[in-house]
Amino acid sequence: MSKMLTIRCAKCKSKTFRYLKIGKGRVLHCWKGRIIEDYSIHEGMEIKCQCGNLIGIDEEKWIKMKQNAFIH
Ligand SMILES: [Zn+2]
């Protein structure tokens, strides 16, 4: 069971990722291979929205998502 999610910044509501979510439950991390479109800014390990809001941390295989920083 999978579905396409549009993940948006909780502050400015812009798109951050289009992400293929597999299974149920919260989005705790985003597997990089399942990010279909990436609108975010990568600054070293930090993944930010265009507005500067910190969305997550790059942990190589996936992006660990900062809860409450995004909506979908
Ligand atoms: Zn934003």
Q: What is the pLDDT of residues 32-70, one digit of tens each?
A: 999 999 999 999 999 999 999 999 999 999 999 999 999
The CA-CA-CA angle for residues 40, 42, 48, to 5°, reads: 55
User: pLDDT grade, residue 1 (50/70/90)?
Assistant: confident
Q: What is the pLDDT of residue 40?
A: 98
Ligand 1 centroid to 68 CA: how many Å? 12
CA of 9 to the centre of ligand 1 (A): 5
Q: How much distance in Å is there from the Cα of 30 to the middle of ligand 1?
A: 18
Domain extent for 8: 2-71
Spatial distance between the Cα atoms of 62 and 30, rounded to a whole number of angstroms: 5
What total number of domains does the chain contain?
Answer: 1
Distance CA 54, CA 34 (A): 20
